[in-house]
């Protein structure tokens, strides 16, 4: 049970009022029940700690969950209750909704609690369709979590939603290492979130490469004194790794490869893009690896026991391999990530991997961030569009459009060259911290 991992060394810092939790009432009311938590991130963490080992299953509902997500979850799952703190709109739920502070009125149970394994139900990012729901246990979620180590001086900041896999990983790491967890309110704008993390002494932070680029452009980032940096969710190219090492020279930098489906696969700590090609033969930490005929990375996790719920689709093939869908290439002694196979843009019958084009555009002086996506065309079906954020001190921003096109024309086949280059103040980033294409 998570409650057994929490002592006076673990603390949660947040900017909202935290409702009282009557532990005896919650135990009596929710033992063996199938629950959904839809509330403020800080209260979701507190409730999850209390309910692990008591509830049969816990669906972690993203703070910004829409009606479509809710109806899909109810279709796939039989939930007994939705628990909330009143900070979110729960009108779309047809399942009974209970407020935290009213649970004290439920009849308390005097039965001795028998600890059971709780299924943690997490939604995939849903970047390419309706999110799927994956069942985990604490064992599968914490397979690579540092346990038994006390990091009382480490203050973990949380930029992710803890209802998502990446956010929950941060929460569990803080709990198991007895560290402090700092959770800014999701309603704050990005600059205010970084300011809040800096004010409260954040020393460890996990984010996608897209979020890290925004952090580095934030004025409040200069106040961060980071000792531990984690990247995941997107390709960590050499440029962002170098930028982080330069800005935070005393910090360890770890690139994690993980997904809601596969859990944490492996981590890379040498501040180099990709991972050593030798791992394709030797594996790493009980995870075997290979490259499929389609050029995608496949993993076999010997501790894999999670599954999709509601549609009977298996996570792995008959031999235990999970196809991640991530395209990779071997360059010298490294395996380099190239993009998502299902994220390719079809340009007149030719496939364009957005990340390939983004890597070329990043070579142009003056480009701070870039996102490549499809733009509808009545003739070709789709054309390539590049959204570019200009470096703040670049003197001729309007000339950058022409320079991007000229550089791409020299390096890329014509069908990959952006037909449109648009200068924007910031890139569209979704609630998972990934670029929204």
Residues 78-104 pLDDT 10s? 999 999 998 999 999 999 999 988 886
Element (H, E) at 135: strand 133-136
Q: What is the C-alpha separation between 345 and 341, in angstroms, rounded?
A: 10
Residues 179 and 316 in one domain: no
343 and 437 in contact (C-beta within 8 Å)? Answer: yes
Q: What is the pLDDT of residue 132?
A: 79
Q: What is the C-alpha separation between 272 and 235, in angstroms, rounded?
A: 12
Would residue 93 count as lying in a domain?
yes
Phi first, then psi: give them for residue 221, nearest 5 degrees. -65, -25
Residues 397 and 252 in one domain: no
Q: What percent of the chain has pLDDT over 70?
A: 86
Q: What is the CATH number of the domain that holds 235?
A: 2.30.38.10
Q: Does the pLDDT value for residue 77 go beyond 50?
A: yes
Element (H, E) at 381: strand 381-390
Boundary (domain end) residue, out of 294, 321, 341: 341
Boundary (domain end) residue, out of 305, 325, 341: 341
Would residue 202 count as lying in a domain?
no
Q: What is the pLDDT of residue 307?
A: 55
DSSP 57-94: EEEE--TT--HHHHHHHHHH---SEEEE-SSS--TT--
Q: What is the pLDDT of residue 128?
A: 41
Please write the tens of the pLDDT for every residue from 198-211: 999 999 999 999 99
Q: Does the pLDDT value for residue 6 go beyond 80?
A: no
- The stretch 378-407 carries a mean pLDDT of 89
In angstroms, the Cα distances linking 105 to 85, 93, 94, 108 are 15, 22, 22, 8
Q: What is the C-alpha separation between 174 and 7, in angstroms, rounded?
A: 12
Q: What is the CATH number of the domain that holds 390?
A: 3.30.300.30
Q: What is the pLDDT of residue 101?
A: 81
- The stretch 359-380 carries a mean pLDDT of 89
- The stretch 374-390 carries a mean pLDDT of 86
Please write the tens of the pLDDT for every residue from 108-158: 444 454 557 899 999 876 544 467 788 888 877 877 666 555 666 889 999
- The whole domain housing 28 covers 2-187
Residues 123 and 238 in one domain: no
Confidence of residue 319 (pLDDT cuts 50, 70, 90): confident
Please write the tens of the pLDDT for every residue from 251-281: 999 999 877 666 667 899 999 999 999 999 9
Query: Comparing C-alpha atoms, which of 214, 265, 274 is closest to residue 244?
Result: 214
**Alpha helix locations (H) across 77-219?**
138-141, 165-176, 190-199, 209-217
- Return the bridge partners of 34, or none: 57
Q: What is the CATH number of the domain that holds 42?
A: 3.40.50.12780
| Residue predicted with more confidence, 416 or 434 | 416
Residues 274 and 417 in one domain: no
Please write the tens of the pLDDT for every residue from 277-293: 999 999 888 889 999 99
Residues 324 and 351 in one domain: no
The token duo for 351 is 């496939």
Q: What is the C-alpha separation between 53 and 31, in angstroms, rounded?
A: 8
Would residue 66 count as lying in a domain?
yes
Q: What is the pLDDT of residue 397?
A: 83
Would residue 216 count as lying in a domain?
no
Q: What is the pLDDT of residue 260?
A: 64
Q: What is the pLDDT of residue 229?
A: 97
Would residue 214 count as lying in a domain?
no
The token duo for 238 is 């050499």
Report the first-to-last Cα separation within the chain, whole angstroms: 39
Q: What is the pLDDT of residue 226?
A: 96
Residues 163 and 308 in one domain: no
182 and 157 in contact (C-beta within 8 Å)? Answer: yes
Would residue 78 count as lying in a domain?
yes
Q: What is the pLDDT of residue 22?
A: 81
Please write the tens of the pLDDT for every residue from 200-249: 999 999 999 999 999 999 989 999 999 999 999 899 999 999 999 999 99
In angstroms, the Cα distances linking 276 to 230, 271, 272, 331, 338 are 18, 12, 9, 10, 15
In three-state secondary structure terms, 332 is coil
Number of folded domains in the chain?
Answer: 3
Q: What percent of the chain has pLDDT over 90?
A: 57
pTM for this prediction: 0.87
Confidence of residue 302 (pLDDT cuts 50, 70, 90): low
Q: What is the C-alpha separation between 300 and 285, in angstroms, rounded?
A: 11
Q: What is the pLDDT of residue 433?
A: 85
* Sequence-distant (≥ 6) Cβ neighbours of residue 318 within 8 angstroms: none
In angstroms, the Cα distances linking 232 to 6, 235, 393, 409 are 26, 8, 28, 31
Residues 180 and 80 in one domain: yes
Residues 355 and 405 in one domain: yes
Q: What is the pLDDT of residue 7?
A: 59
- The stretch 8-29 carries a mean pLDDT of 81
Which region among 10-14, 251-255, 418-422 has the lowest average model confidence (pLDDT)? 10-14
Per DSSP, which regions of 138-286 are E strands?
155-157, 180-183, 204-207, 228-231, 252-259, 263-268, 275-276
Q: What is the mean pLDDT of the chain?
A: 86
Residues 176 and 296 in one domain: no
Q: Does the pLDDT value for residue 296 go beyond 70?
A: yes
Q: Does the pLDDT value for residue 35 go beyond 50?
A: yes
């Amino acid at each position: 049970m998570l409650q057994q991992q929490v002592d006076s060394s673990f603390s949660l810092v947040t900017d909202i009022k935290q409702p009282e939790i009557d532990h005896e009432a919650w135990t009596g009311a929710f033992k063996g029940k199938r629950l959904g938590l839809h509330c403020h991130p800080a209260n979701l963490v507190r409730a999850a700690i209390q309910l692990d080992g008591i509830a049969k299953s816990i669906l972690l509902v993203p703070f910004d969950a829409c009606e479509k997500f809710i109806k899909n979850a109810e279709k796939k799952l039989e939930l007994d209750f939705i628990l909330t703190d009143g900070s979110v709109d729960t009108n779309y739920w047809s399942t009974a909704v209970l407020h935290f502070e009213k649970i004290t009125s439920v009849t308390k149970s005097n039965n001795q609690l028998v600890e059971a394994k709780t299924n943690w139900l997490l939604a995939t990012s849903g970047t390419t369709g309706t999110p799927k729901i994956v069942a985990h246990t604490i064992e599968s979620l914490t397979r690579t979590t540092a346990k038994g180590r006390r990091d009382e001086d480490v203050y973990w900041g949380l930029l992710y939603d803890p209802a998502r896999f990446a956010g929950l990983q941060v929460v569990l790491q803080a709990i198991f290492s007895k560290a402090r967890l700092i959770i800014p309110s999701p309603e704050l704008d990005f600059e205010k979130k970084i300011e809040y993390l800096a004010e409260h002494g954040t020393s460890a932070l996990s984010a996608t490469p897209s979020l890290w680029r925004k952090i580095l452009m934030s004025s409040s980032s200069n106040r961060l004194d980071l000792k531990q940096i984690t990247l995941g969710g997107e390709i960590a190219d050499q440029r962002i790794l170098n930028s982080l090492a330069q800005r935070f020279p005393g910090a360890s930098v770890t690139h994690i490869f993980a997904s809601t489906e596969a859990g944490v696969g492996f981590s890379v700590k040498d501040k180099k893009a990709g991972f050593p090609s030798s791992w394709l033969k030797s594996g790493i930490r009980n995870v075997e690896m290979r490259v499929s005929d389609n050029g995608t990375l496949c993993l076999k996790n010997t501790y894999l026991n999670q599954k999709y719920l509601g549609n009977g689709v298996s996570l792995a093939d008959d031999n235990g391999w999970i196809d991640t869908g991530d395209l990779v290439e071997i360059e010298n002694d490294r395996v380099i990530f190239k993009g998502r196979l299902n994220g390719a843009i079809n340009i007149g019958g030719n496939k364009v991997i957005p990340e390939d084009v983004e890597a070329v555009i990043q070579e142009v002086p003056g480009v701070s961030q870039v996102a490549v996506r499809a733009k509808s065309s009545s003739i070709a079906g789709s054309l390539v569009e590049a959204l570019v954020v200009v470096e703040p001190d670049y003197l001729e921003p309007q000339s950058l459009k022409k320079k991007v096109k000229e550089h791409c024309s020299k390096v890329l086949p014509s069908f990959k060259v952006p037909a449109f280059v648009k200068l924007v103040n910031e890139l569209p980033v979704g609630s998972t911290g990934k670029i929204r294409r």
